[in-house]
Structure 1
Amino acid sequence: MKYINADQILPTELVEELQKYVQAGYLYVPAKDGQHRSWGELTGYRAELVKRNGQIMEDYNKGSSLEELAERYSLSVYAIRKIIYQR
């Protein structure tokens, strides 16, 4: 999450009103209902994991062992099992 200085985006009157409640602190402003983005959506990391997990499945189906996959992808055997058996 990126922090933004309120002075840069809010009217002075609103900043002064907020300062009555919070000064020099962090204030979380939640997204409106239906506007919330899911984890990894902004950074693209979720898509990277889906791609990686798909490749793990493909390698497993081609005969790679759990141990080989764990070594290749720098994951534990337990993590590889979770990826393979979640589908």
Structure 2
Amino acid sequence: MKYGNAKVILPDALVKELQKYVQGEYIYVPIEQKKQKRWGEVSGYRKELEQRNRQIRKEYRGGVSMKCLSEEYGLSIYAIRKIIYQK
């Protein structure tokens, strides 16, 4: 998150209106709901997990046991089971 100077970004009338409520403090202006990205989309981690999960399901269908998969990927057997049976 980066900070911006309200006097530079906003019109004078809006700055004066904001000063009625807040002076010399930081305020957070959230992103509009429709523009907000889902978790992991910005960093690309969501895609990495999806690719890993596809590989786990492929290996399981190929005959690799859940125990071997849990050791290979460093996940619990419960987590592997959730990935395999995920819809």
TM-score, scaled relative to structure 1: 0.76
Aligned-pair distance for 1:86? 0.9
Cα displacement (A) at 1:46: 0.4
Q: Deviations over 1:12-38 (max 9, x none)?
A: 953xx459526454x332222421111
What percent identity do the matched residue pairs reach? 39
Q: How far, CA to CA, are the matches of 1:19 and 1:7 in structure 2?
A: 17
| Distance (whole Å) between structure 2 residues aligned to residue 76 and residue 5 of structure 1 | 41
Aligned equivalents of 2:19, 2:73: Cα separation in 1:
48
Structure-2 residue corresponding to 1:83? 83
* Structure 2 equivalent of residue 57 of structure 1: 57
Unaligned 5+ segments in structure 1 are none
How far apart are the structure 2 equivalents of 1:24 and 1:65?
A: 56
Closer/same/farther in 2, CA of residues 70 and 40 from structure 1, 3 Å limit: same
C-alpha RMSD of the superposition:
2.7
The two structures have a TM-score, normalised by structure 2, of 0.76
Distance apart, 1:57 and its partner CA? 0.3
Superposed CA offset, 1:38-84 (max 9, x none): 11111111000000000000110001111100000010101000000
The amino acid that maps onto 2:9 is L
Q: Aligned to 1:34, what secondary structure does the other structure show?
A: helix
